[in-house]
Amino acid sequence: MASHSKWKSPNHPLYLHHSDQPGAILVPQPLVEDNYNTWVQSMSMALTVKNKLGFVDRTINKPSEDKFEELQQWNRCNNLVKTWLLGSMSKEISGSVINYKDARQMWTDLQERFSHVNIVQLFHVENEIHDCVQSNMSVSSYFTKLKSLWDERDTLCSIPACSCGTKNEMNSYVET
């Protein structure tokens, strides 16, 4: 059995489906300066569906040079993920990360740049919550709007899970 035949399985991260095209739009809204939290959640879900999240979260490592066929396939997949990422950003942001060699570097740069809690954004969300009134909205619409604001605030204030491999209080490993 040839080593590349395993890539014909949709469960293999190096598998490429005929619908996996560089111009595919994976998330509904492009990354701009003030929507990183929503964008990263949407992009993570999309990459998980495509079985390519490992290219940005370090679970799919670049093969060594002596594994030529696997390295070629990894490069194809990595470049595909890079095009998906670039296609989901504003022109200004994509221009600042296009020269990275792999998708992981792009992802890390964006994370370092945009994942920090934006105090101004948090202030605006808190004000929207405070100023939110039902007015002419139905109870359902009002609750949906408020819940959306609460969720956005919670996302802005969330503390990332520990990924150091230590045990948590329940005596099991912390999941990341």
113-171 pLDDT, tens digit each: 887 766 777 888 889 999 999 999 999 999 999 998 888 788 777 655 555 555 444 44
Residues 43 and 62 in one domain: yes
Q: Domain for residue 171, yes or no?
A: no
Residues 71 and 136 in one domain: no
* pLDDT(1) > 70: no
20-67 pLDDT, tens digit per residue, is 989 888 998 999 988 888 899 999 999 999 999 999 998 999 999 999
pLDDT value at residue 65: 93
- 60's CB contacts (< 8 A; 6+ apart) are 13, 14, 52, 54, 74, 77
Residues 132 and 60 in one domain: no
**Amino acid at position 141, single letter:** S
Q: How far apart, in Å, are the Cα atoms of 56 and each of 88, 106, 142?
A: 15, 8, 37
Query: Which two structure tokens, joined as six digits, stand for 111?
Result: 């994370």
Residues 54 and 125 in one domain: no
Q: How confident is the model at residue 73 (pLDDT cuts 50, 70, 90)?
A: very high
Q: Domain for residue 170, yes or no?
A: no
Residues 39 and 91 in one domain: yes
Show the domain range for 57.
3-114
Residues 68 and 131 in one domain: no
**CB count in 10 Å sphere of residue 131:** 7
Residues 62 and 133 in one domain: no
Count up the domains in the chain and report the number.
2
**CB count in 10 Å sphere of residue 114:** 18
pLDDT value at residue 158: 64
Residues 76 and 131 in one domain: no
pLDDT value at residue 98: 96
Query: Which two structure tokens, joined as six digits, stand for 123?
Result: 């202030």
Report how many helices (DSSP H) and strands (DSSP E) the chain contains, helices first: 7, 0
Cα angle, residue 115 at apex, residues 128 and 147 outer, rounded to 5°: 30
pLDDT value at residue 138: 94
How far is Cα 126 from Cα 52, in angstroms, rounded to an integer? 35
Give the helix, strand, coil percentages of the chain, each rounded to 5.
55, 0, 45
Q: Domain for residue 167, yes or no?
A: no
pLDDT value at residue 131: 93
Residues 100 and 148 in one domain: no
Residues 95 and 132 in one domain: no
User: Of 25, 93, 82, 30, which is closest to residue 55 (Cα–Cα)?
Assistant: 82
pLDDT value at residue 125: 84
* pLDDT(176) > 60: no
Residues 139 and 92 in one domain: no
Beta-ladder partners of 31: 89
Residues 30 and 106 in one domain: yes
* Residue recorded with tokens 């994370």: 111
Q: Domain for residue 36, yes or no?
A: yes
